[in-house]
Amino acid sequence: MWAMLSDIAIQAKWNDWQLSKEEWKELFTTYLFGHRKLSTRDFTMEQMSDLICFIEVFAIDNNINLRNM
């Protein structure tokens, strides 16, 4: 997940803002799971899978080259 977020942080902007990989993670988790602070350490396998799939779709939709894909 962190490698994917690093690739996104390097290649993408959010509303013309360059975000860190931590900020992208917070943005994605908030979008998927609501407006509460979540730790991915506590995610179930299903939640982590959903997050990774969401990140992959975002990357594809935004022409971001992921090193691991």
pLDDT tens per residue across span 20-43: 999 999 999 999 998 777 788 889
Cα–Cα–Cα angle for 24, 27, 31, rounded to 5 degrees: 140
pLDDT tens-place string over residues 46-60: 999 999 999 999 999
In terms of residue numbers, what domain contains 13? 2-61
Count of structural domains, the chain:
1
Residue 11 has pLDDT above 70, yes or no: yes
Residue 68 has pLDDT above 90, yes or no: no
pTM here is 0.87
Domain of 52: which CATH number? 1.10.3790.10
In a domain, 38, yes or no: yes
DSSP the chain: -HHHHHHHHHH--BTTB---HHHHHHHHHHHHH-SS---GGG--HHHHHHHHHHHHHHHHHTT---TT-
In a domain, 37, yes or no: yes
Residue 69 has pLDDT above 70, yes or no: no
